[in-house]
Structure 1
Amino acid sequence: MIPRRIGPSLALALASAFLLGACGSSDDSGTGTAAPTAPAAPVTSATPDPAVSTPAAGTSPAAGQPATTAAVLTRAAQGLGSIVTDDKGLTLYRYDKDEPNPSKWTCSGACTKTWLPVIVPESVQTSGVEKSLLGTVHRNGETQLTLAGWPLYRYVGDTAAGQTNGEGKDGQWYAVTPAGQKSTVTG
């Protein structure tokens, strides 16, 4: 009789050991190999999202995105006249290949490593820019700011306030004016 009891008892003991082992396997040292729980990096698409522009009040941007803009300001740039910047004084640009009506972005993939889409929070403050010209376009689940329908970007080559290093790049990137037009060289 004793051998019959050993089989079920052994199975129960192994199952208990397995369950206890699973409960006590947390790694408090922070050096475990578990996948990180932080939100993923921005997702970009090789094809543009033909979303329609909406008023500048959308969803909050995902964590880990390029810097968000809380304000859009107008300032004078030497040789360019009045242009639009973010709240840190970084120049905002528009791309000639994008489309304003309805807003459609075409810069994706590797392009967004050089030209950072301006991802915005729910509300945007303005100074010198007509608020009715501001809008947004949905970009892979995020909200990109538009001006007069044109999606807006920052240039990675602008590392300090007031720089306009992206002006005229590839004959398609231009600092944007308060009216949403591309900037032009002034005398």
Structure 2
Amino acid sequence: MRTMLIAMGIFAATSLSAFAAEPAKMVDTKMGKVLATEEGMTLYTFDKDQDGKSNCDEKCLKNWPAFHASQGAKPEGEWTLVKDSAGKDMWAYKGKPLYTFVKDKKEGDTTGDNVGGVWHVVK
């Protein structure tokens, strides 16, 4: 019986890590459901980025803040980590680095979609 309880405890502990929360969520917007931060701020991709590499420089990041990962965050599934221009870890989804937009003020705002023809909401 004791061995079975220990085995169940080990299984439960290792299973929890397999179900780690994703760093973002889906929110409803006028454009339909989009990917957003936990606070509900819409996430965007930048056409000038390359898979696994951010090309948004320091000036760019003032308007398009990187979706930074918390310390100790681990990539999982389609979620990976890349470095922003300052060398900080930021999230990427399906290889595309993710950003918010300074002109989005509340949950569900999508004012950054198609800015300059190179910024796009993530659906």
Q: TM-score under structure 2 normalisation?
A: 0.74
- Contact in 1 for aligned 2:54/2:83 (Cα 8 Å): no
Aligned to 1:72: 24
Q: 2:109 aligns with which of 146, 163, 183?
A: 163
Residue type at the aligned position of 2:38: D
- Distance (whole Å) between structure 2 residues aligned to residue 160 and residue 75 of structure 1: 12
- Distance (whole Å) between structure 1 residues aligned to residue 115 and residue 23 of structure 2: 25
Aligned to 1:106: 55
- Distance (whole Å) between structure 2 residues aligned to residue 123 and residue 142 of structure 1: 12
- Residue-pair matches, total: 99
Residue type at the aligned position of 1:137: V
- Contact in 1 for aligned 2:45/2:119 (Cα 8 Å): yes
Structure having the higher helix fraction is 2
> Where do 5+ consecutive residues of structure 1 fail to align?
1-69, 125-130, 178-187
Q: Helix, strand or coil: the match of 2:77?
A: helix
Q: How does 1:136-155 map to 2 (within 5 A)?
A: 136-139=81-84, 140-155=86-101
Q: Which string of whole-angstrom CA distances, capped at 9 and with x for unpartnered residues, describes residues 100-141 of structure 1? A: 2xx1111102111100011111337xxxxxx51111102333
The offset of 1:158, in angstroms, is: 0.5
The offset of 1:75, in angstroms, is: 1.9
Q: Helix, strand or coil: the match of 2:65?
A: strand
Q: Which string of whole-angstrom CA distances, capped at 9 and with x for unpartnered residues, describes residues 75-119 of structure 1? A: 2322x232100011100100011012xx11111021111000111
The runs of at least 4 consecutive aligned structure 1 residues that moved more than 6 Å come to none
RMSD of the alignment, in Å? Answer: 1.7
- Give yes or no for the alignment of 1:92 onto 2:38: no
Which structure is richer in relative contact order (CA contacts within 8 A, separation 6 or more)? 2
Bigger Rg, which one: 1
Aligned to 1:132: 77
> Where do 5+ consecutive residues of structure 2 fail to align?
1-21
- Distance (whole Å) between structure 2 residues aligned to residue 107 and residue 141 of structure 1: 12
Q: TM-score under structure 1 normalisation?
A: 0.50
